[in-house]
């Protein structure tokens, strides 16, 4: 049976507008195109891992609207277990207006909606499913208290955890995050969590080591087109980027995290899993869209990138 990953996290409906440039205040521009798609960091990471072959259990909340039905159908179409995706009456599902410019860079707003209702009680209700997982994956588009509770529960039950602390906030309680097995911030999030400057790779390593000193097992610093840093107690290693011409970078970080979770849970050593995840994320930015840009396992192998 495939390894099993639980994703305790968000789902959003992406409302994507492709623009030649962002409008100035008070300016109206005509945009070339618009698309709707499924997103949210939790859902994106779940779909990436599921398409690569992981068995995924989703613990999440949807609202009381048509987006909820579409979200659940999308999870099921990707083979994701939705038993613990709950509906919240009288609340909208999460939505994310996204603007993608001509270079492929994006700007994103999020309306949390039902995601704000995912509670510690929901984690306890899913305990039977979580207990036999190889890894529990979390993000910060759900209440911090739910993330803290999940980490504590996982530690008490011997389950590995990975937290992608996005979006990060300065009021996060590091003492309750520090027990996580893997912490995967970008440079901005690392600076917020550590309280230290992160202007280059040397500073990133210093900041990451300050978190390891507080109890974090391993820190993975994502640096976009510059690759990533793997910072462990014994050593720091650099994950080189895979050079491609980007079309749309939306969801690339989630592709990386979801792919890393899949390959590591499947048995790859951490560094090897990160290298393969970097190739998977690079492949995703060569296509438009978020989840629809995530390759399935056979597609990834055929592309040649999966041999990294």
With CA atoms as reference, report the closest residue to 134 among 275, 6, 268. 6
Average of pLDDT values for 203-210? 98
Planar angle of CA 46, 235, 230, nearest 5 degrees: 25
Could you tell me the residue ranges of all domains in the chain? 4-307
Six-digit token pair at 142?
């759900």
What's the mean pLDDT in 56-81? 98
Return the pLDDT at 204.
Answer: 98
Question: What is the chain's mean pLDDT, rounded?
Answer: 95
To the nearest whole percent, how much of the chain has pLDDT over 90? 88
**pLDDT for the residue 305:** 62
Here the contacts of 146-153 (C-beta below 8 Å, separation 24 or greater) are 146/8, 146/118, 146/119, 146/120, 146/122, 147/8, 147/177, 148/173, 148/176, 148/177, 149/120, 149/123, 150/8, 150/120, 150/123, 151/176, 151/177, 151/179, 151/180, 152/176, 152/179, 153/123, 153/124, 153/127
Residue 14 has pLDDT above 70, yes or no: yes
Residue 308 has pLDDT above 60, yes or no: no
- Place 307 in a pLDDT band, splitting at 50, 70 and 90: low
- What digits encode the pLDDT tens for the residues 149-185? 999 999 999 999 999 999 988 889 999 999 999 999 9
Which phi and psi angles does 217 have, rounded to 5°? -70, -60
Query: Domain 4-307 maps to which CATH number in 3.40.50.720, 1.10.3720.10, 3.40.1190.20, 3.40.50.150?
Result: 3.40.1190.20
Average pLDDT over residues 221-242: 95
254 is catalytic: yes
Residue 308 CA to residue 146 CA, distance in Å, equals 36
Instruction: List the catalytic residue out of 81, 254, 272, 283.
Output: 254
Q: Which residue has the tokens 């509906």?
A: 87
Q: How far is residue 230's CA from residue 133's CA, in Å, rounded to a whole number? A: 24
Confidence of residue 108 (pLDDT cuts 50, 70, 90): confident
The SS3 of residue 34 is: strand
Q: What is the mean pLDDT of residues 78-97?
A: 97
Is 306 a residue whose pLDDT tops 80?
no
């Amino acid at each position: 049976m495939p390894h099993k990953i639980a994703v305790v996290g968000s789902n959003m409906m992406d409302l994507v507008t492709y623009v030649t440039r962002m409008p100035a205040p008070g300016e109206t521009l005509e945009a070339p195109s618009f698309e709707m798609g499924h997103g949210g960091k939790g859902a994106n990471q779940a779909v990436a891992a599921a398409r690569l072959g992981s068995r995924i259990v989703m613990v999440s909340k949807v609202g009381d609207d048509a987006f909820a039905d579409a979200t659940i159908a999308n999870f099921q179409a990707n083979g994701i277990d939705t038993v613990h995706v709950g509906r919240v009456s009288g609340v909208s599902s999460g939505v994310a207006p996204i603007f993608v410019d001509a270079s492929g860079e994006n700007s994103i707003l999020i309306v949390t909606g039902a995601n704000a209702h995912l509670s510690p009680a929901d984690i306890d209700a899913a305990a039977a499913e979580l207990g036999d997982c190889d890894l529990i994956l979390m993000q910060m588009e759900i209440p911090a208290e739910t993330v803290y509770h999940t980490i504590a529960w996982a530690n008490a039950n011997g389950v590995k955890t990975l937290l992608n602390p996005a979006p990060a906030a300065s009021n996060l309680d590091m003492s309750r995050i520090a027990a996580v097995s893997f912490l995967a911030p970008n440079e901005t999030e690392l600076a917020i969590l550590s309280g230290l400057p992160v202007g280059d790779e040397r500073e990133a390593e210093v900041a990451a080591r300050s978190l390891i000193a507080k109890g974090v097992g391993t820190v993975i610093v994502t640096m976009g087109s510059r690759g990533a840093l793997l910072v462990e107690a014994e050593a720091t290693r650099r994950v080189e980027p895979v050079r491609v011409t980007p079309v749309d970078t939306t969801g690339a970080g989630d592709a990386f995290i979801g792919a890393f979770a899949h390959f590591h849970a499947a048995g790859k050593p951490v560094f090897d899993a990160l290298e393969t995840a970097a190739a998977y994320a690079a492949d995703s930015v060569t296509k438009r869209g978020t989840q629809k840009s995530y390759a399935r396992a056979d597609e990834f192998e055929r592309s040649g990138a999966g041999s990294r």
